[in-house]
Structures are given as structure tokens and as C-alpha cells.
Amino acid sequence: MNKSSRIYIAGHRGMVGSAIWRRLEKLGYTNLMGKTSKELNLRNQQAVNQFFESEKPDVVIDAAAKVGGILANSQQQYEFLLHNMQIQNNLIDAAHNYNVIKFIFLGSSCIYPKLADQPLKEEYLLTGPLEPTNDGYAIAKISGIRLCKAIRDQYNKDFVSLMPTNLYGPNDNFDLKSSHVLPAMLRKFHEAKGQEPTVNSQQSTVKGQKESTVKGQDKAVTLWGSGTPMREFLHVDDMAQAVVHAVKNVLPEYLYNVGTGSDVTIKQLAETIQKVVGHQGQIIWDSSKPDGTPRKLMDSSKLNQLGWQATTSLEDGIASTYKWFLENVDNYKKVKL
């Protein structure tokens, strides 16, 4: 690939797609393409084929998906399975039929069995039952991985799948009914503060800055589960750099994990977010709500050995995400309180 290659990023306005766009643009790639869902319905095969025929992308990065947390996944199994399969099948098939040079398929660590050995290795795929609360999304992503592998094996094409751990960062979804655990917690702690800070007065607790002083009575924050499950979190800018690495290189295998190599308990995550936000109230754990998979730590050594490494610490990443959240509360549809 060169800086003028035609690169289509499906889902370019989402958290992952927008991060990839920013990174490629910063590196000097000049032919980036993106379409909103109103401009191109990725569930419509005819529309997707027409787009590929007219635009002729060299590279396709599939960052488009229907995503959500435990609540959304458990309540919308049909939509999470069907809609994701429709999106990825149309993109993968069009990329194959219109001779795209490189296709990068993005998924999630939920593709692995619920009780698989830790850390999760790529070879654990399809070796056991999935977590029931999100198996619709997981099955869809597994089918995409296998479809890319089949094209790779049968037609010798550069189709590769990258499976990130839990992602967070700018442009995340902060809707409490559909968001993932980290942005949901961040919003809950923010809303529970007795006095909401402005962007200018907010002080993070990273890199030697002073901790903020919170005035007023902070409300208690109730969180799902026991707080004991362990999760790994990757800043979306680190994920974008992994995608750029896949754009610039031909990766020798069909599937790669993308993570930090370390995890924290949900309780530790909550306490870190509470510290960054400056909330000083009580945390209540509702053990009647599901915990989900006990642990999901990914083994990312295969991609590490090829030259990619995560660089953003969890506290620094949460602090920068909270700063973005504060700056966009009034004008970003998914953040409005």
C-alpha cells in the first residue's frame, strides 16, 4: 500500500473507525473513503456492490457493526446476529468480487469460549461454549472470521482478522442502555457528582496534575455484578495503530488478538474511573445482575512479535476519554445527559 491507495473505512464515524481515520490521515494517507449509514446501507447487498463498483477501493477496513453491552446483547440477540452478519457478508463478498487488495475484519474478544484458558490464544477459537449473554454478536463475528479465512485459503487473498479486547476512547457510546462497561461507568460517576466540573476546571490525576476538589454531596453509584470479573481494556488509538500496521504489512496468519497483555477487576476499573472523575461517593455492587464472562485476557504475542505494541496506560486513557466526554456533552448525540 502507498499513501494514495484508496482506503474505505466502513463505520468511519464510530469510535474505532474514526480513530483509524485520524491515524491514517495523520500519517499522510490522502485517499480515505467513508459513508454514513444514510449514504450507504451496509445491510443492502445491491447498494454495497454498487459502491464497490463505482469507488473501487484498494483496501477495506470493516469497523462497522452493531455493538452494545450485556443488556443490549441479551435483549437483542436476533438483531445482533442478523445485522452483523448482513453487514460483514456484504462487505466481504463485495471485496472479494471487486478484487480488493487487502481486507481487514475487526471483531471482539467475545469470540472465544466463556471458560477458555487464560490468556486467550487465537487457537482457542471454536473450542467451547460462548458466553450466553452475547453469543449472537460472537457467532456473527466468528462467521466473519471464517469467511475471511476461507477466501484467504481458497483464493490466496490478503484478508486478515483483528480481534481487539475491550475498547474505549473518543467517540465511544455513553448511552446507559447500550454502552459497554467503561463508558457506562464513566457517565454514572460523572452524573453522581455533587458539583459538575467544567472542562477548564477539571483536573485529572495523571502525569503529576493535582487531584480535583469535589464540593457538595456525591451520590452513590450502583454498578452491575460483584466487581470480581477481570477485563482487559485497550485505548482505541492503540487499536488504530494495530490496524495501520496491518495496512502497511502482509500479516502471515489469518487471525490476531489485539490487547495490552494485562487486565484489572471491574472493581479496580470502577475505582480508577472514580478517581479520574473526582467522585467521592459510595460504590454499591448489585450482585443480582450478571457478571458475564469471569475473565477475558488476550494473548497478543503474535501481533507483538510482528512489531505492534499498546502504549497507552489505563489511567491515562480514561483521563483523556473523560476530557473528551466533558468537551462533547452538549453537542454529541450519544453523550447527551
Domain coordinates in residue numbering, the chain? 7-193+198-328
283-286 vs 32-33, strand pairing mode: unpaired
Alpha carbons 132 and 73: distance in angstroms, whole number: 9
* Whether 7 contacts 23, CB under 8 Å: no
DSSP 168-196: ESTT----TTT--HHHHHHHHHHHT-SSP
Active site residues: 137
Spatial separation of the C-alpha atoms in residues 283 and 273, rounded to whole Å? 12
The reply to whether the predicted model has a pTM over 0.95 is no
Topology annotation, domain 7-193+198-328: Rossmann fold (3.40.50)
E-strand ranges in the chain read 7-10, 32-33, 59-62, 102-106, 158-164, 166-168, 221-224, 230-231, 233-235, 255-258, 264-265, 283-286, 295-296
CA atoms within 13 A on the CB side of 63: 29
Per-residue pLDDT tens digits for 195-210: 443 333 344 444 443 3
Q: What pLDDT is attached to residue 333?
A: 57
Alpha-carbon distance of 12 to 17, in angstroms, equals: 4
Which parts of the chain register pLDDT below 70?
195-216, 331-337
Q: What is the DSSP letter of 219?
A: P
Q: What secondary structure letter does DSSP report for 134?
A: G
Using alpha carbons only, how large is the chain's radius of gyration in Å?
20
CA 43, 44, 45, 47 torsion-angle sign: negative
Task: Say what the pLDDT of residue 203 is.
Answer: 43
Q: What pLDDT, on the 0 to 100 scale, is given for residue 336? A: 58
End-to-end, the C-alpha distance of the chain in Å comes to 42
Report d(CA 10, CA 65) in Å as an integer: 9
